[in-house]
Amino acid sequence: MTETPANLLDLDPEALASYFEAHGQRGFRATQLIKWVHQQGVLDLALMTNFGRGLRELIETTTAFSFPEVMNCYESTDGTLKWLLRVGNGSAIETVFIPEMDRGTLCVSSQVGCALNCSFCATAKQGFSRNLTTAEIIGQVWVAARHLGQHPKTQRRITNVVMMGMGEPLLNFTSVVAAMKLMLDDNGYNLGRKRVTLSTAGHVPGIDLLRETCPVSLAVSLHAPDDDLRDELVPLNRTYPIAELLDACRRYVSNNPHDQITFEYVMLDGVNDTPAHARRLARILRGIPAKMNLIPFNPVVGAPYRRSTPAAIDIFRRELAGAGLLTITRKTRGEDIDAACGQLVGQVVARSARQRRQQAALNA
């Protein structure tokens, strides 16, 4: 039987070493290949000068390098870039690069669509198709890094990656962690642990497993100070209510006392943005090393919300700061190309309603 070519981008450093060893090669070949592919962007085996002919033939005949395909790239007036990437079967995902003076942040997707149905998020309205493979996740970083290296504004580079794009990353745990290990690897993208952030809507078992497996920076999409309101905004809260979620956050930072949890809070006019909401929020977060990230709501077609006024956001921020919480208001970026927080939609060929219910039951 002909061996099915393995996509080498699907393998984290340990798995790649195992692949070479299984084919009679030394494990250190994995380090060499990671340097060629991820550090230097080289895919041409003829240019991999420290590989002999036999090794190059092995890689050529048994493996492949398969990336998401760039369908389009959009640039905002503020410099934000958004790529639309084809991932097969009529579906596409979106990846966003946000340049700032002292950093360049890449927002990476983990699923085609999302099954969590948060009421203020554009991705949720696209339905859910499938999890992305490791290759499709790390491929977003590879594509963006190559594009930015060719960009006329040569100071643009990726210094931070946030798993905050389409999908709930903890519901695609294995592939997401494998991709993040390549982001962290010294021979890959060499990002420090605090420069890779995973954002979750609050999947408690996933938070605990991440703590044991790959403890990168954690961001939690909170958006409400009580269960009744959060049940409405983030339906996953009905399975993992706030008390359970915050206990998981305390466990997450228990081994690293200098770490903080970033709590994300979308500001919805008249819904969750009053001083009373802020005071309740400060109470429930007491004792957790935390940073509050207030996110002005970005318009989503069909969502019954409006952005809180600047005055309301400022009063809310001052309430939290007065309670001792480090609080910032996120600057809206890329809104003119629908690249702002909560606006990513891609092209999702969604599963049937029955399949989505089955997926949700498996993920619970």
Q: Which of 114, 121, 214, 341 is catalytic?
A: 341
For the question of residue 94 being annotated catalytic, the response is yes
Active-site residue flag, 136 = no
Helix (H), strand (E), coil (C) string for the chain? CCCCCEEHHHCCHHHHHHHHHHCCCCCCHHHHHHHHHHHCCCCCHHHCCCCCHHHHHHHHHHEECCCCEEEEEEECCCCCEEEEEEEECCEEEEEEEEECCCCEEEECCCEEECCCCCCCCCHHHHCEEEECCHHHHHHHHHHHHHHHHCCCCCCCCCCEEEECCCCCHHHHHHHHHHHHHHHHCCCCCCCCHHHEEEEECCCHHHHHHHHHHCCCEEEEECCCCCHHHHHHHCHHHHCCCHHHHHHHHHHHHCCCCCCCEEEEEEEECCCCCCHHHHHHHHHHCCCCCEEEEEEECCCCCCCCCCECCHHHHHHHHHHHHHCCCEEEECCCCCHHHCCCCCCCCCECCCCCHHHHHHHHHHHC
Catalytic one among 94, 136, 264, 319?
94
Active site members: 94, 341
